[in-house]
Amino acid sequence: MADSKTDPRAGFRMDKTGNEYRLAGVIDEHANLDFLRGVQGRITVNIRDVRRINSVGVRQWMDAMRAIPTTANVELVEARPPIVDQINMVAGFLGRARLVSFYAPMVCPSCDHQEEIQLDVATCRAAGGALPSHPCPRCINSVMELDDVEEEFTSFLRDA
């Protein structure tokens, strides 16, 4: 059975189906992350549709991450670049949770095609923090590059 909670003031939404929670919108002072305090066992939190997080939202997030019970196994999946930036900048941003996958902003140096590519954290860490190469879907022969400062964007991959 699906459970849904929306805060109309901020456009934040949380949907639950089984052991998966899906967050969407903006994490700010109106985002209610209290559901993390009572999670049990293994759960997945899909954050693909979180568009941004402001400074108050970071505090809300950190409080929620610290409140996760020690018996819970929380996996975060599909983090977009704004969340990856916070993981890199804010010590302890993941708290007791573990990041499983994320999106990297990629650009083709030949045709300027831009796309966010979903990547697996374990695969990137096994490669020493390097991102796997991806051919441009338009050029086919060109390899896309990270549209960010690679050393900074991928620093969380080396901080395991």
* 127 domain residue, yes or no: yes
Of 81, 99, 117, which residue sits at a domain end? 99
* In a shared domain, residues 95 and 113: no
Is the domain of 65 the same as that of 111?
A: no
Shared domain for 11 and 62, answered yes or no, is yes
Residue 150, CA distances (Å) to 10, 35, 104, 105, 156 in order: 32, 34, 10, 10, 11
Q: Which residue has the tokens 């909670």?
A: 5
Per-residue pLDDT of the chain (160 residues; tens, 9 = 90+): 345 454 444 578 999 999 999 999 999 999 999 999 989 999 999 999 999 999 999 999 999 999 999 999 999 999 999 999 999 999 999 999 999 999 999 999 999 999 999 999 999 999 999 999 999 999 888 999 999 999 999 999 987 5
1 contacts: CB under 8 Å, gap ≥ 6: 17
95 and 112, same domain (yes or no): no
How many residues can be counted in the chain?
160
